[in-house]
Amino acid sequence: MRAKEEKMETVKTFNISELNENIPEKSLNKKVCVFGQGFVGLPLTLSFALRGCNTIGVDVDKNLVDEINSGITHHTEKFYDVTIQKILKMQLEEKRYKAVTDAAKAVKECNNIIVTVGIPIKDGKHDMSYLESAVRTIGKNLKKEDLIVIRSTVIPGTTEEFILPILEEESKLKAGVDFYLAYSSERIAEGNAFEEFANMPTLVAGINKPSLYRAVDLLSVVCKADIIISNSIKAVETSKVVENAQRDVNIAMVQEVARFCEALNIDVFEVIRLANTHKRVNLLAPGPGVGGYCIPNAYHYLEPKAKELNVDLDLFKLSREKNRLLPEFIVNKIEEQLNNVGKNLENSKVAVLGLAMKDFSNDDRISPPIDICNILIRRGALVSAFDPQVPTEYDFKVKMQDEALKDADAVVILTKQKGITFDDYEYMAKLMKNRPVIIDTKNIINETEAKKYGFKWWRI
Ligand SMILES: NC(=O)c1ccc[n+]([C@@H]2O[C@H](COP(=O)([O-])OP(=O)(O)OC[C@H]3O[C@@H](n4cnc5c(N)ncnc54)[C@H](O)[C@@H]3O)[C@@H](O)[C@H]2O)c1
């Protein structure tokens, strides 16, 4: 069903005050609180605030809450040309947004509650405790007529089999009668959050029709694309995990294509470019690994339910394993290249450019570049890494690109990043030691220039 007929927000230049002046009447009365103020939760709450809702962002991390309330966020999101920093400051000033740690009070003050608290994976095992704690707090403070929309990525079955019983137990209210419950998968990519909340088709299912209708009404405040409804919460939960898992499989496959092309002495990126001209083919790019909160976790969200149902997921499992081993593979390639110029990995200085888990991001959670740095250090290399967008401090991180490159034996490009430049080969050669080596996992090397200034290289 198309729940909304409005056109997508296609404006290229975006004017916040214009949006402010055109706030629809129904948004103004909505009180929305969002549990979790991380990569998804903060821009999502601000998206509701921007459209006139009174919003509260709830998080257990007091430092994060204080930082956000003072107008600081490290996220690199933008809504068209307006940075998330500017949007945050504006919504704080207009008092349409605040961050809090007092979750109980926030639930009491709002009748629309959205959950973006995740299920972390540690050593392949899922940890429900964060989500459980959020849901128990919501249950304890729930009022009649409240709506809860789960937007976290979950193990299929979680909303109906885990969350619903907790909410009923804690609130002593009846789901679907006294309060409303729905699941809507979150499909944004970091860096495009504001735009994709608005323009990505949004999937939703409710535990009954009133829950579904309330959820569609709420989601339509922000989503201007189709809101696609399903009568199965488990189908929406599963589709989200499979959307992520298919990228894991795709990437594992293109890594094999890359090895095949290398042996055949052809360019894998040219092969991908050609294959992707087919309308029904979408090969992703090979790289230094698969990172972030979404893709590497996907198999681990499918696996517990598959086990319970006695279903094999061999292809997903193998893809995950292959991708998990990529950082080790890249380190082996660095060692091989150093050996080729008569150097050992041990005691060689390796300049690492890019620490984020993907290009143009500040997110270094489950980041292959961080794994690569740790493996290099474990194997005796001296690592000097540069990424101006990642705020996390590491012993091996330096503040300037030149500092990373100075006297380095090898330079490894792991993420494309604002503030990282890779075009002055003469200058880089002067900074680095003799017989410099480049390991390019991002297809950015200019081979003619690299050759001119005496570099040896390996490109993925
Ligand atoms: N990051 C993405 O690009 C993305 C995209 C789509 C879906 N998702 C899904 O969205 C969810 C959130 O992801 P994220 O990247 O924003 O994670 P995040 O780690 O950035 O944010 C989660 C926040 O929840 C907070 N939290 C933990 N327990 C809490 C509690 N009991 N009450 C309130 N807050 C609590 C944490 O302190 C943290 O700030 C996950 O399920 C993830 O899989 C993420």
CATH of the domain at 43: 3.40.50.720
Same domain for 57 and 197, yes or no, is yes
Minimum-distance ligand 1 atom for the alpha carbon of 185: 7
- Please identify, among 199, 216, 236, the residue that sits at the C-terminal boundary of a domain: 236
Same domain, 318 and 335: no
Residue of 44, 56, 58, 59 to test ligand 1 pocket, by largest number of atoms within 8 Å of CB: 59
Domain CATH number, residue 293: 1.10.1040.10
Q: How many Cβ atoms sit within 10 Å of the Cβ of residue 77? A: 23
In sequence order, what are the residues at sequence separation of 6 or more whose Cβ sits closer than 8 angstroms to the Cβ of residue 229? 1, 3, 203, 204, 205, 212, 216
Q: How far apart are CA 285 and CA 131, in angstroms?
A: 33
Domain of 296? 245-323
CA of 100 to the centre of ligand 1 (A): 15
pLDDT string in tens for the chain (460-residue length) = 444 444 444 444 556 666 666 666 666 669 999 999 999 999 999 999 999 999 999 999 999 999 999 999 999 899 988 999 999 999 999 999 999 999 999 999 999 999 999 999 999 999 999 999 999 999 999 999 999 999 999 999 999 999 999 999 999 999 999 999 999 999 999 899 999 999 999 999 999 999 999 999 999 999 999 999 999 999 999 999 999 999 999 999 999 999 999 999 999 999 999 999 999 999 999 999 999 989 999 999 999 999 999 999 999 999 999 999 999 999 999 999 999 999 999 999 999 999 999 999 999 989 999 999 999 999 999 999 999 999 999 999 999 999 999 999 999 999 999 999 999 999 999 999 999 999 999 999 999 999 999 999 999 9
Shared-domain flag, residues 227 and 337? no
Instruction: Identify whether 304 is part of a domain.
Output: yes
Decide if 63 is inside a domain.
yes
* β-pair partners for 385: 352, 397
The token pair that represents 393 in the structure block: 């401090």
Q: How many structural domains is the chain composed of?
A: 3
- Identify how many contiguous H helices and E strands the chain contains and give both numbers: 20, 17
Residues 296 and 334 in one domain: no
Question: Do 20 and 162 have their domain in common?
Answer: yes
User: Which atom of ligand 1 is nearest the CA belonging to 133?
Assistant: 31
Ligand 1 site residues (CB inside 6 A) read 35-41, 58-61, 64, 103, 116-118, 130, 133-134, 152-153, 186, 188-190, 293-294
For strands 147-150 and 112-115, give the pairing: parallel
Specify if 9 maps to a domain: no
Q: Are 416 and 431 in a shared domain?
A: yes
Do 319 and 329 have their domain in common?
no
40 and 88 inside one domain: yes
Domain assignment of residue 157, yes or no: yes
Strands 78-79 vs 82-83: parallel, antiparallel or unpaired: antiparallel
Residues 57 and 129 in one domain: yes
Confirm whether 75 is domain-assigned: yes
Residues 228, 334 share a domain: no
Whether 6 is in a domain gets the answer: no
Token pair for 387: 């990424």
Q: Residue 88 in contact with residue 50, Cβ under 8 Å?
A: no
d(C-alpha 148, C-alpha 77), whole Å = 26
Do 291 and 393 fall into the same domain? no
CA of 448 to the centre of ligand 1 (A): 44
Residue 267 belongs to a domain: yes
Angle CA 165–166–168, to nearest 5: 65
